[in-house]
Structure 1
Amino acid sequence: MKSISFLCLIPLLLFISSCGPNTPAPVSTAQPEATPAVATTNAESAKPAVNCQLKLGFEAWEPYQYTSLDNKPAGLDIELVQAIAGQMGCEIVAQQGTWMELIGALKSGGVDLLLGASVTPARQEYAYFSDSYRQEQFVLFVRTEDVAGYPQNTLADFVGNGKKVGIISEYYYGPEFAELFKQDTLKPQFVEASLGELNLARLLDQDIDGMLEDSFVGHAMLRRKGLDKQIGAHSISMGNTDVFVMFSKATVKPEQVSAFNQALAAIKADGRYNAIVQRYIH
């Protein structure tokens, strides 16, 4: 599944020279006593051993990123980055945290890369971005009993009618949301949280009227908690947007990002990418 033409020698040598086996700086997580999970993917084809290690920060965001029952990183994004790292001949060392914690770690070089990121001017000051590796769609989730009472068709109409919406701090929900969030009269209608589960609890307690969440993540969370009858998706969505891998400018060189992009193209070309994605399509 992973047989493909190798990266050209020069980008690979540049990448090898810039990678180091340093142990990642600790990032606080929901389970601080747990040992950071290590996920290593070796290419199935005969690839030379490479002394290369990348420090990955990931959050609890099932089905894209989460910790499995055997305390290992799992999910669609995790499997994709493992396949890409294997194509590059690299080892992934993963550590979990909240998105806010991981953004701080990326800025300081505590982690080398984060997954599922959108490109913004503010982030480009401290991060490089890979080529797009998938798309996402944020939708508005509301209490099922209230759907009929929410005839609004846009997020602007929803918050403009006095409704409060739960969001995750430092998430980027697209240009429509960004325009609303920067308006002084509407910003108070958005209630920030560090975790999607907190937004879910606030929605159940009627502290907020809706919550923005990735469609797959939201439905997976509701099924896992047995709340898919009480809460559902509204017709309001932020549309499909591209997502990227975000690399720390403090620890990663542009040549490494180029090598990553070449490896991403390789696993798309030989079918490994589609094979992974198909396992997560419901």
Structure 2
Amino acid sequence: MGFDAWEPYQYMTVGNTVTGLDVELVRAIAAEMQCELNIVQGSWVELLGLLKEGEIDFVLGASITEDRQDFAYFSEPYRQEQFSLYVRADDVGLDVASIQAFINAGHKLGIVNEYYYGDEIAELYASAKFRPQFVGAIISEMNMARLLDEEIDGFLEDSFVAASILRRKGLDELIKPHHITLGNNDVYVMFSKASVEEELVAEFNRGLAAIKQNGLYQQIVLRYQD
């Protein structure tokens, strides 16, 4: 399993234990399948490369894209995510109604390389007109630093992830969510076609259905909503 630090979904505790909402859900499914997990840590870009080569079998927290379907299978969706625009506290009242309006006004937008933020952002990023307004980073913390250094004017991040990181780093008074949010997207486990048979994905889906049916799924999710 590929692991990309993304608290509260995937993270390392002070005792060097890998945990988080996604990790706990997959551990519960693996127990249903009577499988053991071996964990490989890397950035999202590194993990995608390893997945393509079959050097890791799956990663968590993935979105389906046409490109990825060439080299990966996808589980049934196991949760949803919503990305929000984050800005400096002084800019919370910025009068823009959409991401397109934000970048149209000349603002630079921080994103994490190879993350999928939905069709709207993918189309803007593919546009020669708007591409220069996007600034890529390896991890979200880099976007936060760039925002405070005024190298970018805002960044996109999952609402739970941003709240967790900002609170932990003591930046929650300096960086605030703008009212612009993107629509909810389904999130999947992504399996390598180079190392995983489709039947294993079907077995994983049966395990996911089982923990939803026996109540374990809801128990885990509720722990992270408190």
TM-score of the superposition, structure 1-length normalised?
0.79
Q: Structure 1: give runs of 5+ residues left out of the alignment.
A: 1-55
Counterpart residue number, 1:163: 107
Distance 1:257 1:80 in 2: 15
2:38 equivalent among 85, 93, 110: 93
**Partner AA of 2:215 in structure 1:** G
Distance 2:132 2:107 in 1: 10
How far apart are 1:93 and its partner, in Å?
0.7
Partner secondary structure for residue 93 of structure 1? coil
How far apart are 1:147 and its partner, in Å?
1.7
- Are positions 1:153 and 2:104 aligned together? no
- Are positions 1:120 and 2:65 aligned together? yes
1:188 equivalent among 132, 138, 159: 132
Distance 2:104 2:92 in 1: 17
Partner secondary structure for residue 114 of structure 2? coil
Identity of aligned residues (%): 55
- Are positions 1:111 and 2:50 aligned together? no
> Over the residues paired in the alignment, what is the CA RMSD in angstroms?
0.6
**Partner AA of 2:207 in structure 1:** A
How far apart are 1:72 and its partner, in Å?
1.5
- Are positions 1:74 and 2:13 aligned together? no
Partner secondary structure for residue 86 of structure 2? strand
Deviations 1:166-200 (A, max 9, x none): 00000000011011111101011010000101001
1:83 equivalent among 28, 47, 51: 28
**Partner AA of 1:94 in structure 2:** I
Counterpart residue number, 1:265: 209
Distance 1:66 1:109 in 2: 23
- Are positions 1:256 and 2:200 aligned together? yes
Distance 1:217 1:262 in 2: 28
Counterpart residue number, 1:240: 184
Counterpart residue number, 1:222: 166
How far apart are 1:146 and its partner, in Å?
1.5
Counterpart residue number, 2:76: 131
TM-score of the superposition, structure 2-length normalised?
0.99
Deviations 1:7-50 (A, max 9, x none): xxxxxxxxxxxxxxxxxxxxxxxxxxxxxxxxxxxxxxxxxxxx
Larger relative helix fraction: 2
Q: Structure 2: give runs of 5+ residues left out of the alignment.
A: none
**Partner AA of 2:19 in structure 1:** A
Q: How many residues align?
A: 226
Partner secondary structure for residue 64 of structure 1? coil
How far apart are 1:70 and its partner, in Å?
1.4
- Are positions 1:62 and 2:7 aligned together? yes
Distance 2:40 2:223 in 1: 24
Greater RCO (Cα-Cα under 8 Å, separation 6 or more): 2
Distance 2:224 2:99 in 1: 28
Distance 1:281 1:147 in 2: 25
